[in-house]
Amino acid sequence: MPIKEVFVKTDVYLTCLSHALSTEKEEVMGLLLGHVDQRFDLSLKVGVSYGQSFIENVIILQRSVRQADRVEISPLQLSAAAQEAEKLSIELGKPIRVLGWYHSHPHITVQPSHVDVSTQANYQAMDPDFIGLIFSVFQQEDNEKFANSSLVCFQAVNVDGVLRSREILLSISPPETAAGMEIKTLAKIPLMLFNEEKEHMEKCLSGDLVSKVQNKAVFTQAMCQLLQCCEMPCVSAVLAYEQSLLNNLHRLQLVKQSLDNLTKC
């Protein structure tokens, strides 16, 4: 059953995009959780079925390797994600599993590289429904004032023994349930970036006193940047979300009041 369409929830999309925008020099990555529904294509011939993939949640991953063009998922991270999917299955009452991965292409085009396609093929060997998303960010032409971002959804296909990428139709769908779940994931981005910086700094603690002071100063600078560029926008996002919930509560209280008045009449 080939995957024909992928639906990504708005908040999952925003979390992935925020994660992609958090680092301009190196690629970042994460895993996508969701479920696949079987559909029948009646316009062609009876019995032709295809899959619709629904991405419900996202797990942002801490990088073990920090290079511009290299992203890796460790088996440990995959098994932790599978456990998270199991928990979510019970919570949402849907057969949630790890259904894909995403990674960023800072300053490069959105098309999957040869490495991306072969990585994708390896995942598909384990699960044929597995999909890949690529967020191209910080793309800017010379004559443009602002940077652009673009997104592609793909799978690997074997055409006459050669691996190629196949683009899949992607839609961003509004969240149906458990609003606010992704705000929790979004809030994890600064913590994950902090852990990455801390681990990186701890690896550089050897050497003479001057090197140590220099490395600590670089770490402090990175922390200030993290606070300014990531933590503060996250706090603003959470406050805005709180305000939207309060507005919603107020609206519902007004509806309740008018219904109470109606029953009294």
Residues that bind Zn ion (CB under 5 A): 113, 116
Phi, psi (rounded to 5 degrees) for 210: -60, -45
Q: Please state the closest distance from residue 70 (CB atom) to Zn ion, in A.
A: 9
Residue 73 in contact with residue 28, Cβ under 8 Å? no
Residue 190 in contact with residue 197, Cβ under 8 Å? no
Q: Please state the closest distance from residue 112 (CB atom) to Zn ion, in A.
A: 6
DSSP-derived pairing of the beta strands 49-60 and 162-167: unpaired
Tokens describing residue 32: 């996508």
The string of DSSP letters for 79-104 reads HHHHHHHHHHHHHHTS--EEEEEEEE
Rounded CA gap, 47 and 69, in Å?
42
Cβ distance to Zn ion smaller for residue 113 or 149 = 113
Cβ distance to Zn ion smaller for residue 77 or 113 = 113
Cβ distance to Zn ion smaller for residue 11 or 116 = 116
Q: Please state the closest distance from residue 115 (CB atom) to Zn ion, in A.
A: 7
Cβ distance to Zn ion smaller for residue 116 or 182 = 116
Q: Please state the closest distance from residue 134 (CB atom) to Zn ion, in A.
A: 6
